[in-house]
Amino acid sequence: MPEGDTAHRTARRLHAALAGRVVTRFDLRVPSAATADLRGETVHEVFARGKHLLHRIGEHTLHTHLRMEGEWHVHARGTPWRRPAYQARAVVGADDVETVGFELGIVELLLTRDEADAVGHLGPDPLSPDWDEAEAVRRLSRDARPAHVALLDQRNLAGFGTEYVNELLFLRGVAPTTPMAEVDAAALVALGVRTIRRNVDQVVRSFTGDSRRGRNLWVYGRDRRPCLRCGTPIRKGSMGPDPTRERRVYWCPSCQKTTQSRQLPPSAG
């Protein structure tokens, strides 16, 4: 699942392929920007902010987001794409290289001076040079909502998605329904920073220290399977800031203690 580490790893690859190069192919396959043409402009840089990707090209910024299924591929020009052409949403190419964004959740072109319109709402990013740990802790600490909801809010801390949130709460022994005000926000943030900085350079994301698939996650996607720590079956439910934005929640009822009044009913799905 694409999260902050995926976005930053993708940005590094795109930057290495395009930075300093003159654009020779530019094709945005979305109605709002289908006529845009930045051929002849120079790619200044490609970087990530949280889970967002930004290409600075000339005086413009191409803003994209991977969402659940998105990917950016780098190809030698003229070689076959590894996914169907109908899935392509953005193509940025130079003389001998072509980068293609498939199934992107967001594709928009804006002036670089207006970049804040796209990402200005984001909280501190632990993978960005301007990371501010104290500010991230402050934002989380003032959020009265359940820990799972507060940690997923990109305005508090940018880059952690559903997989990270479920795994980090397990590692800290925090039930997802626990009010954030009752959680040691500083310890949670510090753990998240160490984890995402380690994972950004890994082929397989791991929270257990074991990179083998099926052994790299404590709770995420493991509902009804035994907890790797205590053997209790992992539970699954849903929660979010409102019913239209619920996300999957996975937890171990033994390792992540909660009071009866704050229990999250398991999902039937």
* Cα–Cα distance for residue pair 230/122, rounded to 1 Å: 37
φ, ψ at 205 (rounded to 5°)? -65, 135
Closest CA to 129 of 49, 18, 224, 244: 49
Catalytic residue among 29, 138, 172, 247: 247
Q: Among the options 9, 51, 205, 248, which is catalytic?
A: 51
User: What is the DSSP code (8-state) at residue 159?
Assistant: T
Give the span between the Cα atoms of 72 and 100, in whole angstroms: 5
Question: How far does CA 148 lie from the centroid of its chain?
Answer: 15
- CA-nearest of 235, 203, 196 to 218 is 235
Neighbours of 176 (CB within 10 A): 24
77 in Cβ contact with 97 (< 8 Å): yes
Dihedral sign of CA atoms 48, 108, 60, 73 in order: positive
Active site residue 51: yes
266: CB partners within 8 A, 6+ apart: 223, 235, 236, 237
CA 153, CA 50: separation in Å to the nearest integer? 11
| 197 belongs to the catalytic site | no
Catalytic: 3? Answer: yes
- Residue 178 is classified by DSSP as S
Q: Given the residues 3, 98, 163, 167, select the one marked as catalytic.
A: 3
List residues with catalytic annotation: 2-3, 51, 247
